[in-house]
Chains A and B, each alone.
Chain A
Amino acid sequence: MSNTQLNIISEPDVAAIPDVETPSRESHAHFRWMFIALALALLVIPAFVYPVFLMKVMCFALFAVAFNLLLGSCGLLSLGHAAFFGAGGYLTAHAALVWKLPTEVAVLLGTVSALALGFVVGALAIRRHGIYLTMITLALAQLVYFVAMQAPFTGAEDGIQNVPRGTLFNIIDLKNDVNLYYVVATVFFVCVLAVYRLLYSPVGRVLRAIQGNEARAISLGFNVNRYKLAIFMTSAALSGLAGSMKAIVFQIASLVDVHISTSGEVVLMTLIGGVGTLFGPILGAMVVVMSQNYLAGFGEWVVFIQGLIFVLSVLMFRDGIVGVISKKIGRPL
């Protein structure tokens, strides 16, 4: 059994520092090939698979990558990420439908609103550590849920429906699924690449240091809270972007997107794929979205199966699929 630790406990415990991989130039050179493979796959796959389904996978994959940016690289477990995902979706839907803003502006607005919300939630949550931080994110997300339920513009139970997809830059017609697919795929690819660059930048190293031993990072002179807040906001903004794109793809923003069950799903995706890996959350999102499609006939039992997978992966498979492969080949993935 692996002794993977997320190490979010506040006390400095030198003995408990996990074996955080120290990335060197050589050890992550293979990422270039991974990204080339990803780009090729994104390019070719709509010829074989229904594009709307692929877009759903990519929205959730980006959401999970954003979530894992917080948990995997900094050890902060948020159980309120649906708030950012949903807020982005609502703002984008409202901007596109009621304000009649162009799609790209609407999506940008959704992302910025999630960023702002991330600032508020993050600034409050990082005042506590570990489990308390998790509970604060959950409670604040519940507050956002209440707002979404009561606010005049969210349409309560109905959500915001018939959101227009519009045309990108007045050139590309997004009502066409394939056009929209390539736009979403581009955004997705660029974001994952950006996350990769961030993780292997000096900032990424500081985040790993904070995760490994926060007290030591402070004593080395790093303004730990500023780093935590910055990564929280980045994660929130990317989650908001994912939610915004989902609102455009499915032309609806609804209460499900801000509900705690969505926050739980993104944790599950990350856990299945592998916490702290770059490609794990993407694979995890794929597995979860696919299983939801296949198990749709089972109704309520889908949640039961999800719960069971949660329990089993925590007990026996804490590294996740990509985490296991990464350990086997001795390289980060």
Chain B
Amino acid sequence: MLDLSGISIQVLTGQVLIGLINGSFYALLSLGLAIIFGLLHIINFAHGALYMLGAMFAWLLLHYFGVSYWWALLLAPIGVGLFGVAMDRLLISRLRDVDPLYGLLLTFGVALMLQSLFQGIFGSAGLPYDIPRELRGGWNLGFMFLPKYRVWIILASVSVCFGVWYAIEKTRLGSYLRATTEDRALVSTFGVNVPAMVTLTFAAGAALAGFAGVLAGPIYSVSPQMGVDVLTIVFAVVVIGGMGSILGSIVSGFGLGILEGMTKVVYPEASSSVIFVAMVLVILTKPSGLFGKY
């Protein structure tokens, strides 16, 4: 390991905390991408835009209707999920029989539309969203200051990720989902409504992105382009983790967030590119990704 004598424990824990927070978002977003990919075989390029949409919904709810953060945390993901239903039914479902790359291009176009739409209305400057009263302040641990809201982000992300993992691996609906991923024709002969399931899956992935967006609002400001850079990073996370396993995307999301935080301590200039470098190393050594099946 590197010589840590010159690095104070405050800086180190502080950056690990920031890494965990970034990792929380990477995990939520790559999880959504992975479940969508599992069933629809398309990479949702609008995922960053859906994350932005979640944050925007929360801001609009607060600004125009006075809806609190806590209600927004429930309502905005539902809104984004409904948007996902519309997107799948109206657009993506028309491409089921063609090459999945067209699905990618379609969602890319949707992302451009969403981002420029909000930029046209609200401008490109960030819109402030205050941290809810209950989560302001923090705890002084002696060696560092621990803001409450940051702890909340990590807790919320870990519990939602666990909930999704549980829903997919341990419930009846989840078993249908896994079966549909394996053999869609066979599952439909058992009377399962496969098209509805596909739409539901897309909506769930979209809602996850929307949830991440609401969480992100108070710490990064809400802006139309907020999903652009994070999406590219999440793609790298997905390539590193491989999309074969749910747990894999969660673990690599958090792991790479921490890696990014640690790099900020040791060599700040490389912190924005370390995940991409990690991706290159993984491609060279294990092309299918750390947890990938194919």
Which A residues form the contact surface with B (CB < 8 A)?
A: 3-9, 77, 79, 124, 127-128, 130-132, 134-136, 138-140, 142-143, 146-147, 150, 260, 264, 267, 271, 299-304, 306-311, 314-315, 318
By the criterion CB–CB under 8 Å, are A143 and B109 in contact?
Answer: no
Closest 4 CB pairs of A and B: A310-B109, A307-B112, A307-B113, A303-B116
- Smallest beta-carbon distance B267→chain A, Å: 13
By the criterion CB–CB under 8 Å, are B105 and A3 in contact?
Answer: no
Could you give, for residues 98-121 of chain B, a 1 whenever the CB lies within 8 Å of some chain A CB and a 0 otherwise? 111110111011111111110110
Residues of A within 8 A of B102 (CB): 6, 314, 318
By the criterion CB–CB under 8 Å, are B98 and A4 in contact?
Answer: yes
- Smallest beta-carbon distance B232→chain A, Å: 5
- Smallest beta-carbon distance B259→chain A, Å: 15
Nearest residue in A to B269 (C-beta to C-beta)? A150
Residue picked from B43, B102, B105, B280, most chain A C-beta under 10 Å:
B105
Give the contacting residue for B98; candidates A139, A267, A311, A318; CB below 8 A. A318
By the criterion CB–CB under 8 Å, are B98 and A142 in contact?
Answer: no
User: 18 A-B contacts, Cβ less than 8 Å apart?
Assistant: A3-B98, A9-B99, A127-B283, A127-B284, A127-B287, A131-B43, A139-B236, A139-B276, A139-B279, A142-B229, A260-B228, A307-B114, A307-B116, A310-B105, A310-B108, A314-B102, A315-B95, A318-B98
Interface of A is mostly: helix
The reply on B97 being an interface residue by CB < 8 A is: yes
Extra A-B contacts (18), CB below 8 Å, given A128-B239, A139-B232, A311-B110: A5-B99, A6-B101, A77-B104, A127-B284, A128-B287, A134-B104, A139-B239, A139-B276, A140-B280, A143-B276, A146-B273, A301-B116, A304-B113, A306-B109, A308-B109, A310-B106, A311-B113, A315-B94
Q: A124-B283, A307-B113, A315-B91 are in contact. Are A264 and B269 (CB under 8 A)?
A: no
- Smallest beta-carbon distance B117→chain A, Å: 6
By the criterion CB–CB under 8 Å, are A311 and B239 in contact?
Answer: no
The reply on B165 being an interface residue by CB < 8 A is: no
- Smallest beta-carbon distance A78→chain B, Å: 11
Residues of B within 8 A of A138 (CB): 232, 235
Interface of B is mostly: helix
Give the contacting residue for A311; candidates B104, B106, B229; CB below 8 A. B106
Residues of A within 8 A of B97 (CB): 3
The reply on B153 being an interface residue by CB < 8 A is: no
By the criterion CB–CB under 8 Å, are B112 and A303 in contact?
Answer: yes
Give the contacting residue for A300; candidates B43, B94, B116; CB below 8 A. B116
Nearest residue in B to A312 (C-beta to C-beta)? B109
> Which residues, 188 to 241 on B, are CB-close (under 8 Å) to A?
228-229, 232-233, 235-236, 238-239
Q: CA of A248 to CA of B170 in the docked complex: distance in angstroms? A: 61
Residues of B within 8 A of A271 (CB): 105
Q: CA of A299 to CA of B280 in the docked complex: distance in angstroms? A: 37
Residues of A within 8 A of B269 (CB): 150
By the criterion CB–CB under 8 Å, are A264 and B104 in contact?
Answer: no
By the criterion CB–CB under 8 Å, are B120 and A136 in contact?
Answer: no
By the criterion CB–CB under 8 Å, are B113 and A308 in contact?
Answer: yes
Could you give, for residues 108-145 of chain B, a 1 whenever the CB lies within 8 Å of some chain A CB and a 0 otherwise? 11111111110110000000000000000000000000
Q: CA of A315 to CA of B108 in the docked complex: distance in angstroms? A: 13
Q: CA of A271 to CA of B41 in the docked complex: distance in angstroms? A: 21
Q: CA of A7 to CA of B266 in the docked complex: distance in angstroms? A: 44
Q: CA of A52 to CA of B276 in the docked complex: distance in angstroms? A: 37
By the criterion CB–CB under 8 Å, are B232 and A260 in contact?
Answer: yes
Nearest residue in A to B276 (C-beta to C-beta)? A143
Q: CA of A9 to CA of B117 in the docked complex: distance in angstroms? A: 34
Nearest residue in B to A302 (C-beta to C-beta)? B116
- Smallest beta-carbon distance B291→chain A, Å: 14
- Smallest beta-carbon distance B36→chain A, Å: 11
Residues of A within 8 A of B276 (CB): 139-140, 142-143, 146
Q: A124-B284, A150-B269, A310-B106 are in contact. Are A134 and B120 (CB under 8 A)?
A: no
- Smallest beta-carbon distance A125→chain B, Å: 8
Q: CA of A304 to CA of B112 in the docked complex: distance in angstroms? A: 6
- Smallest beta-carbon distance B112→chain A, Å: 3
